[in-house]
Structure 1
C-alpha cells in the first residue's frame, strides 16, 4: 500500500521540475492527484503520464498569485474527487540581482509569486479541510536561502523566509483541527528554472553560483524534494508540524 493510498493530493506548480516530480510520485504512492500551473499542455502531459500508469489525476490551469483562482482550484478538486486531504504548495518564482538594482516590479513578482500565492492557497485549502473535519497535511516549498545569507537573492530570500514563518504560525493555529503544516527547504535543484546557471568542471562535476559548499557534492534533483514532501504529507509524519526540513545536501550546516 502506498504512503498516500486513498488520499486526494493537490500540487500547485505541478507542470515541471519539483512539482511534476511530486505529482508523479504522489500518484505512484496511491493518491488521486490534482495539479495546477499556467501551461496547460504541460499539465495535460503529466495527467496523461499518471493515467497511463493506472492512476487518477486532473489538471487545473491557474496562476498561483490569483486569489480567486486559489479557491476555484479547491472547488474543482472537490467536485472531481470529493475532498482534499493533502497539498504541496510548490508554485513559485525566482530572480537574482543586486539589492540596489531590484525595483518594485521585481519585488511584486517575487513576493506575490512566493508569499502571496502561498498564503491564499493555504487559506483556500484549510477552509475545505476544516469543512471535512478529518484533518489534513499541507507542505510549502520554501528554500534553504530563507536561512542562509547569499548575495544577489535578497528579495527571493525574504519571500521564502515569509513562507517559512507563515507555515510555523499556521501550524500552531491549525493544530486543534489536526491540520499539519510544514516546509521543505531545498538548495539549488536541477529544474528548467535553474538549468541556465549550471556549469560543468573538467571532471564532469557541476557548479551553480548558489550551490556551493554542498557536502554531498552534487546539486539536488526534483525527486530529492518530492520524497521529503511525500513523507511530510503522509501519515508517517503524523506528529510532525511547524517544521522546516532542509533538503540541501548539507549546505546549511557547512
Structure 2
C-alpha cells in the first residue's frame, strides 16, 4: 500500500491544490510532460494545462493518473473538490451579479486589470481569451460583461469609483489601436458624473491592497458587502467587521491615489505616449 499523503498543507484553493499535486507527483516520479503523455495515453499538452490550472481535465484522465502514480482515489478526490469549487464559484458569481444589479453605488480597487465595468469589447475579449474559454463561451462571457456596463448609464446609473494602480495602465493590449481605444474609453467614462477614476502611481509605494481585487456594493437597504476575487475564485464578504476592515484598507489606498483631475491627466499622458509609440 502506498504511503498516505497529506492533502492539506499547501494551497487551500481546491483548483490550485489539485494543480500543485499533479506537478509534485510528476516531478517525484521523474516524468517529463512528454513522457507522461506517452505512458498514460493523452497528449502531453493536456497535462501541462492541468498543472498550470488552466483546465481540470476529465475524470477518466485523472483516474489514469491515480493509477500511474499509485495514489488510488487521491487525485480523483482533489479533482472532485476542484470541480465542486468551480461550480460554487459560479453560484457565488451569480449572487454577486444580482447584488450589483440592485446596488445604488459601488467602488473598487483592482490589482492587475481594468475593471469589467470600464472595459472595451476588445479588452474584455483579449482578457477572457487568456482563460482558454471555448469560442461560444467566450462570446457569451464578453456579451455578459458588456451588458453589465449598462448600469453606468441611464437615469438610475450606478455611482461607481475605481482605484487603478499605475501598473494596470502600463500593461497594454498588444494591438496599439485597441489599447488606445481602451485608454480613451477610460477618459470618456471618467467624464460621467457618476464615474470617478483615481490612479495610484508607483511612487505611492506598497499599500494594504497591493495585490487585492475588491469591490464594495452599497445595497438599497444601506448594507455594504464586498467581493474579493482572484484568478481562480471569488468570495462574497457580508460580515460587517470584515467589510469594515477592507473598507479601512481601501480608504488608505484612496488617500495615496491621485485626485480625479490629476488622474485624468495621468491617463491622457499614457494615451499620448501610446500614440507616439504607435506612430514610430
- Please report the TM-score for the alignment, with normalisation by the length of structure 1: 0.30
- Please report the TM-score for the alignment, with normalisation by the length of structure 2: 0.28
Larger strand proportion of the pair: 1
Larger helix proportion of the pair: 2
